[in-house]
Amino acid sequence: MRRRQVPLLAPSDGPQAIPDPATALTTPNGLLAGGGALTPDWLLGAYRRGIFPWSAPEEPLLWWSPDPRAVFDPAHFSPSKSLAQSIRNRGYQTRIDTAFGAVIRACAAPREHAPGTWITQGMIAAYETLHTLGHAHSIETWQGDALVGGLYGVRMGGVFFGESMFSQARDASKVALARLIAAARRHGIELIDCQMPTPHLQSLGASTVPRAAFLARLATLIDRKTSGSLRE
């Protein structure tokens, strides 16, 4: 059977040209379109509809909305016993938005079992722009003066769209996640999107929800007025 092709979009089309997520391919899971641009209007317009960019360096920019979706519910997150011990005993400190560029570049660095990266220089520049505009945030784990773990993503209304995390010390990325969830509870963020389900995310407590259910909840939260900066 011939696989259905997805449209290739021009930057001038605008993010509204990305097809309805319900029309996404099942193989590969969630692929909607190629092309477009990594400008703030494209990125924010896509996130608003439950769509995110991802592509290998040699591929055109691709847009995705997988089914099912991996999420954290901050209200029901409970750290494991080992994570709670790391938070208490390993001398970590967590900060928010003090080293966004360092976090995204650490997330982009090659890893032992995944030498390539989807976080290209274009992606880095695009999310640094979103950070400058106040939409993208880094949650960081420090040990003394060393940045040893963290994650970054985009906050819109009552939703935080997680993009990537890294760890250079035991549980360092998990400690950053725990800080994000604590901040989410304080500031009315009710949904943390993790995009594609993976065994690692499920081991951290992420659950999977059907795409339709995710999009319905997203619609109720995306324009919610929330309180204050994540750093507070």
Instruction: From residue 75, give the alpha-carbon distance in Å to each of 84, 178, 223.
Output: 17, 12, 19
Q: What is the CATH number of domain 8-66?
A: 3.30.70.3550
CB 5 within 8 A of CB 34: no
- Predicted pLDDT at 49: 98
Give residue limits of the domains in the chain.
8-66, 70-221
Binned at pLDDT 50, 70 and 90, residue 86 comes out as confident
- Predicted pLDDT at 2: 54
Evaluate whether the domain defined by 70-221 bears CATH number 3.40.630.70: yes
pTM of the model: 0.94
Q: Which pairing describes strands 31-35 and 8-9: parallel, antiparallel, or unpaired?
A: parallel
| Tokens at 44, concatenated | 């924010």
Nearest to 15, CA basis, from 40, 48, 45, 35: 45
- Predicted pLDDT at 113: 61
Convert the pLDDT of each residue in 134-152 to its tens digit: 999 999 999 999 999 999 9
End-to-end CA distance of the chain: 54
